[in-house]
Amino acid sequence: FLCRWTHELSEGLIACIMESADIKRALYPPPGPNTSTAKGGGQTKVGAQWQLCLNLLGEDPNFKEALEACITTKEQTAYANKIKNRLRTMAKMTRKYIVEMGQTGAGIRNADEIDTSVSNAFTS
């Protein structure tokens, strides 16, 4: 399975997560007590990742046949891991930019409101 992660695919991945409350809840559970997947409540992370893979690449002619041939959990997990790794990479990139930018731009309306005491790449 070779997938080149373009901006379009990455944006599609985010869109698939935002469109499905079940997938979003499985991957990013809300704070507080969560439904036990062992007792039949909710979807597992691997299940959500596999569903994302199907939603994102299921109709793509380059992947459709290969995805339809995945019957065993082991085969599905290999594809789900690609989704998991991409989500992890995107999260790392986002955290890096958040640290780099600090809180700059948050509610600033004019130059007088800029706080140069905030640590970020522009004021350091």
The count of domains in the chain is 1
Residue 69, in any domain of the structure: yes
The enclosing H or E element of 12 equals helix 7-19
Give 63-90 pLDDT, tens digit per residue.
888 888 888 989 899 889 999 999 999 9
Rounded to 5 degrees, what are φ and ψ at 15? Answer: -60, -40
Residue 52, in any domain of the structure: yes
What pLDDT, on a 0 to 100 scale, did the predictor assign at position 98?
Answer: 73
**In which band, very low, low, confident or very high, does the pLDDT at 50 lie, cut at 50, 70 and 90?**
very high
Residue 80, in any domain of the structure: yes
Residue 57, in any domain of the structure: yes
The chain-wide mean pLDDT, for the chain, equals 81
Direct distance between the N- and C-terminal alpha carbons of the chain, in angstroms, rounded to an integer: 43
Find the mean pLDDT for residues 37-57.
84
Residue 49, in any domain of the structure: yes
CB 2 within 8 A of CB 62: no
Residue 28, in any domain of the structure: no
Residue 54, in any domain of the structure: yes
Q: Which domain holds residue 68?
A: 45-100
Give 94-115 pLDDT, tens digit per residue.
888 777 666 555 555 666 666 6
CA-wise closest residue to 104 among 123, 88, 91, 80: 123
Q: Where are the alpha helices (DSSP H) in 58-104?
A: 64-68, 73-101
Residue 81, in any domain of the structure: yes
